[in-house]
Structure 1
Amino acid sequence: MTQIILNNGVKMPIVGLGTFKIKGSELVKSSLESAVAAGYRAIDTAGVYKNEVDIGRTIKDILPRHGLTRSDIFITSKLGPKDHGKEKCRAACMKSIADLQCEYLDLYLIHWPGGQGLQPSDIKHKLLRQGSWQAMEDLYDEGKIRALGVSNYLQRHLEELLEYSRVRPVVLQVEYHPHLVQHQLVEFCKKNKITFQAYSSLGTSDPENKLLKDEVVKRIATSLCKTSAQILLRWAVQQNIGVIPKSTNNKHLQENIDIFSFSLSDDDMRSLTSLNQSQHYCWNPECVL
């Protein structure tokens, strides 16, 4: 598994398992069991996913059976919008640690730049996320979090964060795929040594998934005898961008991590990048002050 070295020296697998909408003890258990057996060593969750207790219980159960320990698994969780602010943030993070039974988190992200229940233009968003970051910095100092980052931040949100942060963010996790190629944001992160991590690399679970069914993606997949999902994931990791594809299907879990045995040509990379439509299939944080 390729590792990305974050700007504070912590190593993060470039491919992880996303767990959004993976809920229920049996589904969590079967999915994580298959993922760990396939070679996944990073798990991405969040307080709002409502699955941390089941993930924590499952990890504790399966690691010894695979000859692994806690330090072999990179665990990410996120602060939900309802828990923004210094006091709430600390309590939410400690709850995630307790639910996950992991003593510390490898990475903790602010999930959304805005606080719950506020109008998008409310100035309180800025104050809340600053308070949240300060709480995260304290937890970092205490060794409860090994690395700090954010999700769904725009460049202006990052610029604001860099003005007051004592501990610099190491990761930005956002929607990113050939239909949403955020060149300027990627370059800003490179310049500031912030690792770019993509979510929704395969689009959505909609049966009419326009990304997986894109004719250019399908053509490249056919030419390389790979799946469309493998092409989309390879496109990202070939740019040194992390991915966290979600699946509960054992075959797909294995395919999604099998993206290091081939490369895309320069022409293939350009063809995929040229598909950009600035199309969000998930959430667009543009409106959040």
Structure 2
Amino acid sequence: MVVAFGTPLPRTITLRNGVELPAVGLGTFRAQGDDARTAVLAALKVGLRHIDTASIYKNEGPIREALVASGVPRGEVFVTSKVSPYEQGAGRARTAVEGILERLGLEYLDLVLVHWPGVSRVAPDSPTNGLKRWETWTELERLYGEGRVRAIGVSNYEEAHVRELVRRAAVKPMVNQFEVHPRRQRMELRRLCAQEGIAVVSYASLGCSDLLSHPTVTRLAEEVGRSPAQLLLRWALQEGCAVIPKSIRPERISEWREEALLGPEWGLVPEQVAALRALEDGHKYCWDPAGVA
């Protein structure tokens, strides 16, 4: 649901089971070693309480160190991770989640996602993809029932993948994380998620930094007196998405603190929202799951 200008944006999105997902978090894709540690510490220092990682990122060690060093109580930090395409299937997905927990030094995860609708080294059109992602989902349902994870969901699922899962699942997906920005707004997929009670977490909100220099974005940022990054994130938040921008630079991460993005003292008026929506051209900056059967 679109939120109007002048309305304070919510700090959290309530998932279908009542778990509160922070609306603003830190993505850690490609952040390694000291960079990952520094980024997570910087995010927690400015008040961000959602840290997004994945087993395939291979940065759980420094994230673990940062979580401990921050001094922020575990119950105040929402940690998301993902089962990779290399880990899907019966038994394998459980082992993957247990490994994630061990490497992060956590007793539970707040959210676990199926990272990709396909399986590594399997042809995109192979029916094996559907079989393995279903086996993976049933493993996540069991882990959820055991309390090892507080919420479960998917990432990069297209409309067909979502419909298939919702039709079969005993525990419906609570989140779908996928690429959303003004050039690729995914209105149909977002509407489907809303209809099914699935929260949307947007990644690549800044267009992999490309949108930061787009003439429309820079013009509107000047109009509202904010940085291009803040403008793009506010747009996504007003559109009802949670965001997980990524950076390893503390000065950039400080721009994403909640009071800078969520407050009612600024926002995008309808004309500005329309100008950003007009940028839609379907451009994809990241990987494309559309061909996965």
TM-score class, shorter: over 0.9
Tell whether 2:89 aligns with 1:81.
no
Matches within 5 A, 1:101-250: 101-205=105-209, 209=210, 211-250=211-250
Shift of 1:57: 2.3
2:26 and 2:48 in contact (8 A); partners too: yes
Alignment-mate amino acid for residue 11 of structure 1: E
- Quote the residue 2:11 is aligned against: 2
* Counterpart check, 1:260 vs 2:268: no
Aligned-pair CA distance for 1:227 = 0.8
Identity %: 38
Amino acid at match of 2:262: F
Which range moves more in the overlay, 249-258 or 137-146?
A: 249-258
CA distance in 2, matches of 1:57, 1:38: 18
The one-letter amino acid of 1:16's match is G
Deviation at 1:29, TM superposition (A): 2.1
- TM-score, normalised to structure 2's length? 0.94
Answer yes or no: is the 8 Å Cα contact 1:86–1:133 preserved in 2. no
Distance (whole Å) between structure 2 residues aligned to residue 99 and residue 233 of structure 1: 30
Which of 37, 44, 52 aligns to 1:36? It is 44
Query: Which amino acid is the alignment partner of residue 277 of structure 1?
Result: D
Structure number with higher relative contact order (C-alpha < 8 Å, ≥ 6 residues apart): 2
SS of corresponding position for 2:212? coil
Whole-Å Cα distance in 1 between the matches of residues 286 and 185 of structure 2? Answer: 14
Question: Are residues 1:27 and 2:29 paired?
Answer: no
Residue 55 (1) aligns with residue 63 (2) = yes
**Do 2:224 and 2:267's aligned partners in 1 also have CA atoms closer than 8 Å?**
no
Moved over 2 A (4+): none
Task: State the partner residue of 2:5.
Answer: none
What are the Cα deviations for residues 152-205 of structure 1, in whole angstroms up to 9, with x where unaligned?
000100001011111110000000000001110011011111001100001115
Q: How many residues align?
A: 280
RMSD of Structure 2 on Structure 1 (CA): 1.0
Q: TM-score, normalised on structure 1?
A: 0.95
| Unpaired runs of at least 5, structure 2 | 1-9
CA offset digits 1:124-173 (Å, max 9, x no partner): 00000000000000000110010000000001000010111111100000
Aligned partners of 1:270 and 1:102: how far apart in 2?
A: 43
- 2:105 is aligned with what amino acid? Q
Deviations 1:51-100 (A, max 9, x none): 0122112212222xxxx310000000000001010210000001001111
